[in-house]
């Protein structure tokens, strides 16, 4: 195997800088740790829980990787752009963005207020636009970039009391495809990772999935956050350089 071919299959991320939102816990934390384990420096983006972010940063630094933490409101477009700039100042030019932050306030359709709608769209979808737009010029200049977003649990399917959430996730998938189409020629890929039912604290504090529901899955168990982290690490690596505009469903076959 020649050197170029070896590099194209390399899943190491040494020398790369990643920015992960929603990284204080659950899937975002697992993604940040997986990228750091691959050798990347990681900016931990959290909304309010700075202590949780610092705990993840400490885990990363214990691996021998660099990390930094930023807390702020992703509904604020100015903060989204500043987060990209802060990452560049603290850790270096952003090579990898993972949009893992999301809010999921369940509301019946007629109970969704304008504030509910706007908040979900701002954090789940618009933040991805603002941050990626801020990072792309440097990615284009350097000829490398990875944009990864977490999609909905069941893409293409409606969810009871999920209207605004489903629309926001559909918007993210459309955004990722547009980025993939426009920027692939510059060495930039954009993909979605769509989790199935996951073993997270969010799952334990919301409506629990039943054993009967799990038994209907081809892989009859909850997914582990680390499995989402591994998927994101793969898509961020040179091994996935020919994959763009796709949705990778890490779901135990839920959509089947």
* Assigned fold of 3-250: Rossmann fold (3.40.50)
Q: How many whole angstroms separate alpha carbon 120 and alpha carbon 59?
A: 30
Provide the pLDDT for residue 10: 84
CA angle, residues 240, 25, 40, in degrees to nearest 5: 40
Confidence grade of residue 1 (pLDDT, cut at 50, 70, 90): very low
Judge contact between 188 and 241, C-beta under 8 A.
no
Dihedrals phi, psi of 151, to nearest 5 degrees: -95, -170
Q: How many whole angstroms separate alpha carbon 146 and alpha carbon 240?
A: 10
Residue 157 pLDDT > 70? no
Average pLDDT of the residues of the chain: 91
Residue 2 pLDDT > 70? no
């Amino acid at each position: 195997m020649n050197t170029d071919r070896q590099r194209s299959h390399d899943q190491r991320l040494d020398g790369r800088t990643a920015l992960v939102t929603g990284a204080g816990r659950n899937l975002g934390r697992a993604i940040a740790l997986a990228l750091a384990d691959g050798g990347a420096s990681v900016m931990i983006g959290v909304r309010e829980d700075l202590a949780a972010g610092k705990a993840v940063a400490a885990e990363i630094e214990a691996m021998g990787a660099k990390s930094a933490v930023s807390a702020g409101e992703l509904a604020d477009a100015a903060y989204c752009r500043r987060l990209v700039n802060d990452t560049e100042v603290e850790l270096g030019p952003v090579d990898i963005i993972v949009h893992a932050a999301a809010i999921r306030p369940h509301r019946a359709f007629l109970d969704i207020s304008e504030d509910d709608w706007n908040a979900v769209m701002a954090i789940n979808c618009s933040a991805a636009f603002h941050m990626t737009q801020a990072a792309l010029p440097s990615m284009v200049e350097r000829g490398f970039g990875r944009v990864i977003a977490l999609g909905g649990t069941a893409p293409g399917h409606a969810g009871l009391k999920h209207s605004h959430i489903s629309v926001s996730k559909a918007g993210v998938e459309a955004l990722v495809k547009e980025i993939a189409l426009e920027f692939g020629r510059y060495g930039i890929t954009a993909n979605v990772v769509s989790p199935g039912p996951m073993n997270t604290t969010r799952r334990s504090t919301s409506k629990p999935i039943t054993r009967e529901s799990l038994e209907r899955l081809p892989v009859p168990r909850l997914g582990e956050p680390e499995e989402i982290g591994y998927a994101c690490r793969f898509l961020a690596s040179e091994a996935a350089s020919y994959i763009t505009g796709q949705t990778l469903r890490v779901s135990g076959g839920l959509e089947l």
